[in-house]
Amino acid sequence: MGLAGMTICSTAFETLGRAQAKALGCPDLPLAIIPHPFGLRTREQVRRIASQCAEDIARIAREAEAPVGRSPTNAESPRGRRAQRIEAPGDHDGFNRYCRDRRWSDGLPHVPPTPARVDAMLRHTRRAPEDVVAAIAPAYGAATVEGIAINAVLAGCDPEYLPLLIAAVEALGDATFNLQGIQATTNSVAPWLIVNGPAARRLGVNGGLNCLGQGSWANATLGRAVRLILQNIGGALPGEMDRATQGQPGKYTFCCAENEDGNPWDPLHVERGYPRPSSTVTVVGAAGTLNMNTHAKDADDLLRVLADTLAHPTSNDYHFGGEPWIILSPEHAEVLKLAGLTKADVKRRLWEASRMAASRFAARDYARARHTRGPELGVMTADTQIPAAPTADGIGIIVAGGPGTHSVYVPTFGQTRAVTREVEVEAEPAR
């Protein structure tokens, strides 16, 4: 008898537990299930639930054979398998029904990934089709270059977008980003792609007017391709391993460029240590967007109202010490620059002014914050001033958008950190 493995989850996550076990090659992995919701139970009820769960775990450990499955890290081998060719309906409606029936769809029409279309995309990278870029949680599927290209075609991407998508997938797979948590959470979180450098201009990634809205083919299809990769390779099907309570529109597509021409400071990729002529993509675990409309022309006044917007007691950033982001409009950025403020100055001022009294938390959230942020902040009382991020550098700032007195607050999942990767210099397409 080998050491038994098991999954421990609440009844609301039983579907996720079974789906992830199956995806990892252990469909018969036993589950120890806790009644949900347990946040509403009395302490005595929690004790009884914990006691029963401990008995279940001990019983499973005694009875179950060690499951034989694949480790999540197995997908990170240097080479993966090539995609199989399948026969699918050739007409548009038939093909989309085919995708819907197999749950390959995000709910919008697809472009059929024919061998010719996939090959055209693969000509824009020097990497081999079977190269594994990352293991995509929660199924830990191997995201090969070819697999990324297939989903990019499905999403409607132009072939030259492939190197940027490869960099984005590599960033998503970084442990710092916590893709497992983001993919399986009940939170309304979605990866947000920020593109910097010459690739943004060359590919037409919009960082100006309406950069978070419709109308840009690159923004729409790049963000959509990431979602299809997360679903079709990572296995995060809604209602199964994707357990979002409501979700958000950004789960369809969430991508923009930085408006580097309207940025009075160093652009994001330079701030994060990359050469100015390079191109990068940064992934952020974004929990949504909030419009910040203010006509303030005094830097102190502007920073005060922006900081006040950050501080809200239902924010994961405050619960966990996260990484909130601000998309400054060029007009707001110019107000701050004219006052002699550097980006570091702005971050420090926002970090200090956005502190929130712990008394604003709901009682249970206060108890949680004492646990999650206690090691950072020490003994916490109702009067403790809670910062949104552990340090001022934890606040992310980019400049994007067009004319107008609107900036955007992008709260995050909290237990995630942005990751940046450089985009490879595109291969010369075969002639």
The predicted-structure confidence for 184-225, as pLDDT tens digits, reads as follows 999 999 999 999 999 999 999 999 999 999 999 999 999 999
pLDDT of residue 3: 45
Average pLDDT estimate for 418-428 = 85
Average pLDDT estimate for 401-414 = 97
pLDDT of residue 164: 98
Cis peptide before 37 (omega within 30 of 0): yes
How far apart are the C-alpha atoms of 323 and 413, rounded to whole Å?
A: 8
How far apart are the C-alpha atoms of 327 and 210, rounded to whole Å?
A: 12
pLDDT of residue 226: 98
How far apart are the C-alpha atoms of 49 and 395, rounded to whole Å?
A: 39
Other Cβ atoms closer than 10 A to 47: 11
Average pLDDT estimate for 174-178 = 97
Band (39; pLDDT cuts 50, 70, 90): low
How far apart are the C-alpha atoms of 10 and 26, rounded to whole Å?
A: 19
User: If we measure between CA atoms, which residue out of 52, 15, 55 comes closest to residue 35?
Assistant: 52
Band (76; pLDDT cuts 50, 70, 90): very low
Question: Is pLDDT larger for residue 13 or for residue 136?
Answer: 136
| CA separation, residue 173 to residues 213, 309, 368 (Å) | 26, 31, 28
How far apart are the C-alpha atoms of 50 and 389, rounded to whole Å?
A: 33
Per-residue DSSP letters for 42-100?
-HHHHHHHHHHHHHHHHHHHHHPPPP----GGGGGSSB-PPPPP----SSHHHHHHHHH
DSSP 12: G
| CA separation, residue 61 to residues 3, 32, 36 (Å) | 7, 10, 23
Residues 32 and 60: beta-carbon distance below 8 Å: yes
**What is the tens place of the pLDDT at every residue in 79-118?**
788 988 999 998 999 999 999 999 999 999 999 999 999 9
How far apart are the C-alpha atoms of 262 and 79, rounded to whole Å?
A: 42
Band (52; pLDDT cuts 50, 70, 90): confident
Band (72; pLDDT cuts 50, 70, 90): low
pLDDT at 141 > cutoff 50: yes
User: If we measure between CA atoms, which residue out of 127, 283, 124 comes closest to residue 191?
Assistant: 283
Band (71; pLDDT cuts 50, 70, 90): very low
Average pLDDT estimate for 40-61 = 74
- pLDDT over 70 percentage in the chain: 91
pLDDT at 65 > cutoff 60: no
pLDDT of residue 40: 66
**What is the tens place of the pLDDT at every residue in 298-331?**
999 999 999 999 999 999 999 999 999 999 999 9
**What is the tens place of the pLDDT at every residue in 239-281?**
889 999 999 999 999 999 999 999 999 999 999 999 999 999 9
Other Cβ atoms closer than 10 A to 136: 27
pLDDT of residue 30: 76
Average pLDDT estimate for 402-414 = 97
pLDDT of residue 54: 75
Reported as type and span, the H/E element at residue 305 is helix 299-310
**What is the tens place of the pLDDT at every residue in 274-291?**
999 999 999 999 999 999
pLDDT of residue 48: 80
